[in-house]
A = this chain, B = another copy of it.
Amino acid sequence: MPKMKAAIFVEPGRIVLDEKPIPDVGPLDALIRITTTTICGTDIHILKGEYPVARGLTIGHEPVGIIEKLGSAVRGYREGQRVIAGAITPSGHSEACLCGCHSQDGAGTKHGWKPMGGWRFGNTIDGAQAEYLLVPDAMTNLAPVPDGLTDEQVLMCPDILSTGFSGAESGGIRIGDIVAVFAQGPIGLCATAGARLMGASTIIAVESLPERMAIARKMGADYVVDFSKVDPVEEIRRLTDGRGVDVAIEALGKQSTFEAALRVLRPGGTLSSLGVYSADLKIPLDAFLAGLGDHTIRTTLCPGGKERMRRLMATVASGRVDTSPLVTHRFTLDRIEEAYDLFGHQRDGVLKVAITP
């Protein structure tokens, strides 16, 4: 049984590179030889034991690679093709999928809905930080990479770009909107880019790290509020002359940013939340206008599936968004433990690392 290298969750605090068998390919699967992958903030939660996964699981959900082998029932692809798959790999056939809610895919469950059920890589099945990756429901999930795009150019599509854009999309941004984006990590930066792409006329990013503030401007922010120096709620009120924003995007997952996002909304506005929270949230009565403000609060889990990936790559190919500033560091798979160390401690201005087996 041939072996491959893979980054494996051993126990809280330990993700190590080890050997595993190369997986067998079922009729609906595809085996991908990974050429580039990356580490996500969620992987750090897993590393720290804050998000529980099975011991022995291969981590990672952001694959770029080459089709090594197709399942017997898979049609429409050829071995050797360069592809990506989303972080979320829906089946396409559950009730959730048929409602367009692919991220909550409950394939195989009684009612066809499962919380976060579309997220499988590095969560419920082996993930992408390895030499090979088994992609389930390949016909729903494999998206060929357009010629002319490098691995790094599409590396953000499986998760960061899809999630970031969804923050803008779920906000329902319209031409001429005023938008605030709280936090400018990789996802927040992509949310800023998404707000720009959807026609916001004023984008206010909130961040304190100078490198991120600089990239935020490149991604489309008109103003960048340094929350370490000014109160962001007051500053956004000042910038909007007291009006508030049409859409506020939360991209961190903390009470402070959630609450600030609510406080800067005009009545009738939308709070689009991308953050992964780790504690109960409080909705302050005044910020919520006692429930009479015609507010919408919406959470979105990264959209997946091959059509989503195709659209994102087309957008990258058009030059309308450029995620290359996000890849700040590069490692071989052999050195992934170092990469975890750097990324986990957010050293050296790291945004995203590219890992190449």
Enumerate chain A interface residues (CB-CB to B < 8 A): 26-28, 72-73, 75-76, 91-93, 95-104, 107-108, 110-117, 137, 139-140, 165, 168-169, 174-178, 194, 197-199, 201-202, 222, 241-244, 253, 266-268, 273-285, 288-301, 305-308, 310-312, 314-315, 317-318, 320
Q: How far is the CB of A108 from chain B (nearest CB, A)?
A: 6
Given contacts A92-B98, A290-B276, contact A199 B315 (CB under 8 A): yes
Given contacts A98-B306, A222-B318, A293-B115, contact A277 B267 (CB under 8 A): no
Q: How far is the CB of A273 from chain B (nearest CB, A)?
A: 5
Whether the Cβ atoms of B104 and A293 lie closer than 8 Å is yes
Q: How distant is the Cα of A140 from the Cα of B306 in the complex, in angstroms? A: 17
Whether the Cβ atoms of A267 and B116 lie closer than 8 Å is yes
Report B-chain residues with C-beta under 8 Å of the C-beta of A202.
314, 318
Report B-chain residues with C-beta under 8 Å of the C-beta of A317.
201
Whether the Cβ atoms of A98 and B307 lie closer than 8 Å is yes
Report B-chain residues with C-beta under 8 Å of the C-beta of A27.
27, 72-73
Closest to A289 in B: B115
Report B-chain residues with C-beta under 8 Å of the C-beta of A91.
92, 139
CB<8 Å pairs between A and B, sample of 19: A27-B72, A27-B73, A91-B139, A98-B308, A101-B267, A111-B266, A113-B243, A115-B267, A115-B289, A116-B293, A117-B267, A176-B312, A199-B199, A274-B291, A277-B290, A280-B283, A282-B282, A295-B297, A296-B297
Q: How far is the CB of A195 from chain B (nearest CB, A)?
A: 10
Q: How far is the CB of A222 from chain B (nearest CB, A)?
A: 7
Across the interface, A110 reaches (CB within 8 A) one of B101, B108, B243, namely B243
Across the interface, A283 reaches (CB within 8 A) one of B117, B168, B281, B291, namely B281
Across the interface, A295 reaches (CB within 8 A) one of B96, B168, B298, namely B298
Q: How far is the CB of A350 from chain B (nearest CB, A)?
A: 24
Q: How far is the CB of A240 from chain B (nearest CB, A)?
A: 8
Across the interface, A268 reaches (CB within 8 A) one of B72, B101, B199, B280, namely B101
A interface secondary structure, majority: loop
Given contacts A267-B96, A308-B98, contact A169 B165 (CB under 8 A): no
Report B-chain residues with C-beta under 8 Å of the C-beta of A110.
241-243
Whether the Cβ atoms of B306 and A299 lie closer than 8 Å is no
Q: How distant is the Cα of A95 from the Cα of B113 in the complex, in angstroms? A: 21
Report B-chain residues with C-beta under 8 Å of the C-beta of A114.
267
Given contacts A92-B93, A201-B320, A244-B113, contact A101 B276 (CB under 8 A): no
Whether the Cβ atoms of B289 and A93 lie closer than 8 Å is no
Whether the Cβ atoms of B299 and A295 lie closer than 8 Å is yes
Whether the Cβ atoms of A291 and B267 lie closer than 8 Å is no
Closest to A301 in B: B292
Whether the Cβ atoms of B292 and A276 lie closer than 8 Å is yes
Report B-chain residues with C-beta under 8 Å of the C-beta of A93.
92-93, 137, 139-140, 306
